[in-house]
């Protein structure tokens, strides 16, 4: 008790001023496009995807920027499109996946799920200053700088692999690893792309004990990054995510996708990498046509860590 009194002073001391209320944040006054759940003010769209739209928003209660994912649903059914029920189930599945991975490295944090207009909205961490791996590589190519160096590619791959491994450990397969789903952002260290975040778990699924939201024989994912077993209707597994990681890293270090467009499927082997150097062997292993011939997480993690350290990219 004495220690408390010494730290905070005598409760009867009239010379101790009460704490001042924090100044109101100017952003809390808007204007907003709309306010969701009487708490999240939508500022502007910052991204779109197959399931919906992502907004930069402001949490009026905690006074911080957040990202809010809106599930876009048509009022009329369109042949070939998912029903509102399926899209809603996917949104909830994504929220559950992110919540299950809340302690995992390199995964965007989910803060809340709210309902508006009868549909769920996912409230997530807003990664300030982020750009996608796809945009970074394409900008370098336009500027004549070439794709990413080997060490930087290995560093990004190591981060994404850690995120995937955390999901695989609890039975979550991402199913859509690609350059546009990887965010690169500053972290205060001076490196503009120091932070690596894997996003968009909208089509992730658990390997057992869940109901599919994809429909019968529906191929889910992005052409060019799908593993062969997914492309031909098989189930996605951790090995499928590793294939997509290999395709993504190939794009990062080579500046192009490994498989020719318009081939009607994957050729027997990817185009040999020309710029990957010591990373080439890992890429070739990850892009094996059979999931049985792809390496395990541990072997890939060790090699990517070695390359990151050897090149000073860590």
- Which position has the token pair 């952003």? 27
Q: Known catalytic residue: 25?
A: no
Token readout for 193 is 């792309």
Tell me which residue of 36, 29, 87 sits closest to 57, measured CA to CA. Answer: 36
Distance CA 229, CA 252 (A): 23
Q: Which of 59, 176, 200, 241 is catalytic?
A: 176
Contact (Cβ atoms closer than 8 angstroms) between residue 160 and residue 184: no
Token readout for 175 is 């199913």
Task: Kindly write down the DSSP assignment for every residue of 111-141, as one continuous string.
Answer: EEEEEETTEEEEEEE--TT-EEHHHHHHHHH
CA angle 268, 273, 276 (to 5 degrees): 145
Q: Which residue blocks in the chain are alpha helix, DSSP H?
A: 2-8, 84-100, 133-142, 150-169, 228-231, 238-254, 280-286, 297-311
Q: Is 69 annotated as a binding residue?
A: yes
Token readout for 169 is 């450990």
Identify whether 48 is preceded by a cis peptide bond (ω within 30 of 0).
no
Phi and psi at 86, nearest 5°, equal -65, -45
Distance CA 217, CA 304 (A): 35
Q: Which residue(s) pair with 131 in the sheet? A: 184
At what angle are helices 238-254 and 133-142 packed, to 10 degrees? 20
Helix, strand, or coil (residue 238): helix
Distance CA 182, CA 148 (A): 14
Tell me which residue of 92, 129, 130 sits closest to 112, measured CA to CA. Answer: 92
Residue numbers in the known binding site for ATP are 69
Residue numbers in the known binding site are 69
- Residues with active-site annotation: 176
């Amino acid at each position: 008790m004495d220690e408390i009194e010494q730290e905070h002073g005598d409760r009867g001391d009239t010379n101790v001023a009460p704490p001042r209320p924090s100044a109101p944040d100017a952003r809390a006054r808007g204007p907003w496009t709309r306010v969701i759940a009487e708490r999240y003010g939508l500022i502007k769209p910052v991204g779109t995807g197959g399931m919906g739209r992502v907004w930069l928003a402001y949490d009026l209660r905690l006074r911080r920027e957040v990202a809010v994912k809106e599930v876009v649903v048509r009022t009329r059914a369109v042949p070939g499109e998912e029903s509102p029920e399926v899209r809603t189930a996917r949104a909830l599945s994504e929220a559950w996946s992110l919540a299950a991975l809340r302690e995992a490295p390199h995964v965007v944090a989910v803060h809340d799920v709210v309902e508006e207009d009868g549909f769920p909205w996912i409230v997530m961490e807003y990664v300030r200053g982020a750009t996608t791996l796809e945009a970074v590589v394409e900008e370098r190519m336009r500027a004549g700088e070439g794709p990413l160096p080997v060490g930087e590619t290995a560093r990004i791959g190591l981060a994404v692999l850690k995120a995937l491994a955390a999901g695989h450990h609890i039975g979550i397969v991402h199913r859509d690893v690609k350059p546009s789903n990887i965010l690169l952002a500053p972290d205060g260290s001076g490196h503009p792309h120091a932070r690596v975040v894997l996003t968009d778990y909208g089509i992730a699924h658990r390997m057992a004990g869940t109901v599919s939201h994809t429909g019968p024989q529906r191929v889910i994912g992005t052409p060019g990054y799908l593993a062969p077993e997914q492309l031909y209707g098989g189930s996605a597994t951790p090995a499928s995510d590793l294939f997509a990681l290999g395709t993504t890293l190939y794009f990062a270090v080579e500046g192009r996708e490994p498989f020719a467009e318009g081939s009607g499927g994957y050729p027997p082997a990817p185009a040999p990498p020309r710029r990957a150097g010591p990373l080439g062997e890992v890429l070739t292993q990850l892009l094996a046509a059979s999931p049985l011939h792809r390496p395990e997480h541990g072997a890939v993690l060790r090699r990517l860590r070695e390359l990151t350290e050897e090149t000073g990219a860590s």
